Structure 1
Amino acid sequence: MQLKLISIILILHYMEYTVCQQHPSRHRQNKQSPGVNWGCHGGCLTCSDSNGCLSCKPRFFFFLERSGMRQVGVCLSSCPSGYYGTRSRSPDINKCTKCGLSNCDSCFNRNFCMRCKAGYYLLQGKCQETCPEGLIPSDTQRECVLDCTTECDSCLNGDTCNKCKAGLYLLEGKCHQTCPWEFEPNEQLTECIPKVHCEAGEWADWSPCSRRGKTCGFKRGEETRSRDILRPPSPHGDPCPPTTETRKCVVKKKKCAERRRGGKRQRNQRREKEGHDGQQEHMETGEVGDRDGLESRNKTEHRLRRGHSRDPVLPAGDAVR
C-alpha cells in the first residue's frame, strides 16, 4: 500500500513538473508562495491545481477523496468514517487507512472496530447483526450489553437499570457488586453514593501556658489549641484528624499573689465561722444543762412528797408521852 501511495505521489509530481514546463510563469509563482495555489487546502504542504494536495503539513493525514471519476488529495486533521489514521516517522506521509471491516463506522486499527454502523452491534472489537445469549443489543450505544433483567429488579430500558437486585448497588443505570473508587454503598438506598471525606477547620490560637489548671507558680507547663470539624465523614470516607494539640511551654516563674490574699481571706472567714459555731454549741449545751437540773430537782421534790404521805398516823392515845 505504501509503495502504491509513493507511486501516486511520484506520478503527481511528474504531472506537476510537466505543467510547470508548459507554464513557467505559474511555476515561478508557486516558488514564490509555496503551498498556496488553486488546488491547495489549509493542511497541504505541497499541491497541484489538478490533483490537489501532494503532501501534508505535520499532524495532518493525507486522504484520496473521490471527485467524480477522479481522486483528489486532501489533508485532514482526522480521518473520515470508515478510516483510521496512521502516523509514520516522516510527518509528510501520515495517511488515512480504510478499516478492514465493512460494517465498521470507526476503528482503532484495521481489524479492531470502535463503533459500528447502524444495524450492527459492537462486541469485542467486531460488529455483529445479533448478540449472543445473555447479551442484548443497545441501539443507542450500538453495542451488545448485559441483559438488564439478569441484575436489575426493574429497568428503564434494555441497558439502563432503575433498581438493582439484593446485594447489588445502582450507579448511573448499572448494577455493581462493589462500588467504584470514590463511591461507597448505601444499604438503605441500595446505591453507590460519593464518599464524603472529613473536613477540619483552621487551628485556633494557643492557650496561655498553664500547669495543673494554674497559670502561676511554675516555670514549665503546657499550652493547647483546638479546631472544629466542618464536615464529618461518611462511613467509608477519610476519618477526621486530631482536633486538639498540646505542646510544652516555658514561662518566667511568678508568685500567685492574688491567690495568696484570697487564701488568707478564706482562712479568716473559716475561723470566724468556727468561733460562731463553738459559741452556739456552748449556749446550746448550757440550755441543756439547765433543763436537766430542773428536771432533777422536780423529781427529788416529788419523791419527798411521796415519802411524807407514806408515814404511819399514830392514834391519839399512843402519842408519845
Structure 2
Amino acid sequence: MHSNKEASEDCRPCLECSRDNGCLSCLGKLFLFLRREGMWHHGSCLQSCPAGYYGVRGQDMNRCMKCKAANCERCFSKDFCTKCKQGFKLFKGRCLRSCPEGTYPHLTDCIEGCLLGPWGEWTSCEHNGVTCGFRWGRQSRTRVSSSNCPAQSEDRKCRMKKRCPTQRRANERKGKGKRRRKEQKSHQNTTLMELPGEK
C-alpha cells in the first residue's frame, strides 16, 4: 500500500513510501538508493545506481551499496572498481596514482605488457667480432620500451664479405706477380718460337 504517495514526487516509482524518508521499497527491478541528508536517510528508486555505488539484487529488494575501494568512481562490487576518479589509473579493480612495474598507462587504465617502440637498425654482420673473412656471421637489432619493461632484441644469420680489404691487397699483389710471371713465360715462348733456323 502506498502511504502519503501524493506527498512527494519521489514516491512515484516506490512500492512503499514515507513523507520524511522517501522510498522505503521499490517496484520491479529498480534499486533503492539511500542518500544521507543530515541526520536522515532519504530513499529513491533508480534504474541504475549512481557514481560511487553498485547494485545488489536481493529476493526482497534491490539496493545500491557504496563502493569501498579507494578513489573509485564506479564499482562492480564493494572492493572491485570499474572506473577511477580523475588523476588515478585503474588496474585489476584498484585505483592507483601510477601504474605498477610491467604495465603502462593507456587512457584511464594500466595495461599489462610492454609498449615498445620501433625496431632500430641492424648491426654490421660479424663473426667473433670480425666483419670479414668468413662466409656467414650474425647481426642484431633492438627496440626500446617506453614503459618499465626491458628492451627487446633479435638476431639473424647474415652473409659476410669473404675477403677482408687487407687480404685483397695481398691477393692483388700476388695476382700482379703471377701475371708478370705468366707474361714473362709467354714472352719467352714467343721468342723461342721466333728463333732463326726454326722457320
TM-score range, shorter chain: 0.5 to 0.7
Which amino acid letter does the alignment assign opposite residue 61 of structure 1?
F
Q: Which of 102, 125, 147 is the matching residue for 1:134?
A: 102
Identity among equivalent positions (%) equals 42
Task: Please give the residue correspondences for 1:150-165 in structure 2 after superposition, counting only pairs within 5 Å.
Answer: 150=116, 152-153=117-118
TM, length-normalised to structure 2: 0.52
Which amino acid letter does the alignment assign opposite residue 51 of structure 1?
N
Residue 101 (structure 2) pairs with residue 115 (structure 1): no
| Secondary structure of residue in 2 paired with 1:79 | coil
Q: Please tell me whether the aligned partners of residues 35 and 44 of structure 1 are also in contact (alpha carbons under 8 angstroms).
A: no
Work out the CA distance in 2 between the residues paired with 1:36 and 1:98.
27
Work out the CA distance in 2 between the residues paired with 1:71 and 1:114.
26
| Secondary structure of residue in 2 paired with 1:37 | helix
Aligned counterpart, 1:124: 92
Task: Please give the residue correspondences for 1:55-94 in structure 2 after superposition, counting only pairs within 5 Å.
Answer: 55-90=25-60, 93-94=61-62
C-alpha deviation, 1:130, in angstroms:
1.1
Work out the CA distance in 2 between the residues paired with 1:78 and 1:71.
19
Q: Please tell me whether the aligned partners of residues 116 and 127 of structure 1 are also in contact (alpha carbons under 8 angstroms).
A: yes
Higher CA-based Rg: 1
Task: Please give the residue correspondences for 1:159-174 in structure 2 after superposition, counting only pairs within 5 Å.
Answer: none
Q: Which of 67, 71, 80 is the matching residue for 1:99?
A: 67
C-alpha deviation, 1:66, in angstroms:
2.6
Structure 1 unmatched ranges of 5 or more: 1-30, 155-321
Work out the CA distance in 2 between the residues paired with 1:35 and 1:137.
52
| Secondary structure of residue in 1 paired with 2:58 | coil
C-alpha deviation, 1:51, in angstroms:
1.4
Task: Please give the residue correspondences for 1:1-321 in structure 2 after superposition, counting only pairs within 5 Å.
Answer: 36-39=5-8, 40-90=10-60, 93-138=61-106, 141-145=107-111, 149-150=115-116, 152-153=117-118
Tell me the alpha carbon deviations over residues 78-131 of structure 1, each in whole angstroms, 9 at most, x when there is no partner: 1111110001112xx211111121311111111211111111111111111111
Higher helix share: 1
Structure 2 unmatched ranges of 5 or more: 120-199
Q: Please tell me whether the aligned partners of residues 61 and 96 of structure 1 are also in contact (alpha carbons under 8 angstroms).
A: yes
42 and 137 in structure 1: CA distance in 2 versus 1, 3 angstrom threshold: farther
TM, length-normalised to structure 1: 0.33
Q: Please tell me whether the aligned partners of residues 104 and 115 of structure 2 are also in contact (alpha carbons under 8 angstroms).
A: no
Work out the CA distance in 2 between the residues paired with 1:131 and 1:51.
43
